[in-house]
Structure 1
């Protein structure tokens, strides 16, 4: 279950830039080393070694992904980037069923209303963390209207957790 965490936008951007630079430099170093090694071991002097260079870069990409997911994912310096990835992934899971969410909200379904509230809160945080203020004003109006409707129905507006059961319930209504 994903939960929205309070986070300072400037700190988030600074830390994610740092982790991105670290990963990019690591990938570049691995790509150069592995491409050079592949050409040295398997290539022909003066020959066309493009496939070995490409193979080295591809191997570096695979190794980088494996290192990120296996070793770096749980490291403190990656935490903001991992959180951002999880937030965007959670929002995408709601976006994929948004037509069902909006239809269920119009019918007054409490689970759908909570899901839409989570989506609004998560999207608002994503805009804040990414520094995207242009979309925030329109979202704020939608959020306020939806929150007022939830309050009128006595539904808690603090929906900071994405409950997978809400998504499953919507998917079941479609089937």
Structure 2
């Protein structure tokens, strides 16, 4: 996945709308389905937990299918991009210790992965206004840049390929 410029205001607006729509759909859908099931199949004991749970599960499945169908719509562009970015960074995070160890041993692939990881984290944290650890990220990036200069390596985020992670 390649890093792209994202309009933060548009991303935040669309993300908030997706969150509100999700909450509303989950509440209305699960309650509506549960009430329908309770009306169709009343329980003489008065407990309807299983119908309420069924309503939530059916609504979640319907929402998953619906969001999966609209994920490529222009409205979802930024939200879907950030979702994929988070997935990509999560894959790296799981192997970060090994990747950093390999980068310390001058592994160029590991250095490219770290460069992508740092740039992706920077973008994600700026989009989500999570700038608390941005200073620490800058230190990590500076150390990586020094190492790359020492080895005369050009780091580029376009060089990242998730398949590289399989070797770590």
TM-score by length of 2: 0.90
Unmatched 5+ stretches in structure 2: none
Runs of 4+ in 1 over 4 A off after TM superposition: none
Per-residue deviation, residues 126-167 of structure 1 (Å, max 9, x unmatched): 111110111101111211221232133232222145302321
- The answer to which of 90-99 and 59-68 deviates more is 59-68
Could you tell me which runs of 5 or more consecutive residues in structure 1 were left unpaired when the two chains were aligned.
171-175
- Which residue number in structure 1 is paired with residue 144 of structure 2? 146
Q: Indicate if the aligned counterparts of 1:4 and 1:161 stay in contact, CA closer than 8 A.
A: no
Structure 1's 30 and 88: CA in aligned 2 closer, same or farther, altered over 3 A? Answer: same
- Does structure 1 retain, via aligned residues, the 8 Å contact 2:33–2:55? yes
Give yes or no for the alignment of 1:42 onto 2:28.
no
**C-alpha displacement of 1:55:** 1.6
Tell me, what secondary structure is at the counterpart of 1:3?
Answer: coil
Superposition RMSD in Å: 1.8
Q: Which residue of 2 aligns with 1:93?
A: 91
For normalisation by structure 1, the TM-score amounts to 0.87
How far did 1:110 drift? 0.6
Between 1:102-111 and 1:6-15, the stretch displaced more is 6-15
Residues 1:75 and 2:97 aligned together = no
Q: C-alpha separation between the residues in 1 aligned to 2:52 and 2:167?
A: 49
Matches of residues 15-26 of structure 1 in structure 2 within 5 Å?
15-26=14-25
Work out whether 1:157 is the aligned partner of 2:152: no
Measured in 2, the distance between the counterparts of 1:125 and 1:149 equals: 22
